[in-house]
Amino acid sequence: MGRVCKLLFSTSGPFHGKHFALSFRLLVDWPQSLTPQFSQLISQLLYTQADLRPAVLKALKVMVESNVVLTTPTDTEDVSFKQSSKFSTEEATANLAFLRTQAESWLAVLFNVFSSVNKNSRGMVGDVISVWASITEQQVRLTTLLGI
């Protein structure tokens, strides 16, 4: 796991808590950064660290949304984000293709978390499920739903 990943999950410092989601934008190369070990760490945080869950969920949502925005035609709302982004459209397209390969696993984790949290906490988890589901093929969504 790289230095950036260690910083993201330290218990103190610039990437702890509310800064966690913002720091996910710093990682440009998702195929290299989102290793199985890193994904497992994120999953375990979702399952075991209720206080970090909102930040981790926000990061998972931003991970997908930022790449989707960069690969879609520009509208007035997205211009400033695209101009300030360190991502190129080509990098975002590659990242999105990679994230699609990970979506089935993430949807399974997110559905498990959704079913384990109280009703008041399900809204945020549901939002992240929707974002990840939006980048998958219908067959992946059906497989994930039937597998739960």
pLDDT band at 6 (very low <50, low <70, confident <90, very high): very low
Tell which residue, 84, 69, 78, 129, has the closest CA to residue 104.
129
CB 136 within 8 A of CB 102: no
* pLDDT for 121 beyond 80: yes
Mean pLDDT confidence for 54-76: 85
pLDDT of residue 14: 41
Distances in Å between the Cα of 42 and the Cα atoms of 80, 90, 111 are: 29, 26, 15
Domain total of the chain: 1
Of the pLDDT bands very low, low, confident and very high (cuts 50, 70, 90), residue 107 is very high
What is the pLDDT, as a whole number, of residue 20?
Answer: 45
Give the residue-averaged pLDDT of 80-97. Answer: 74
Range of the domain at 114: 3-147
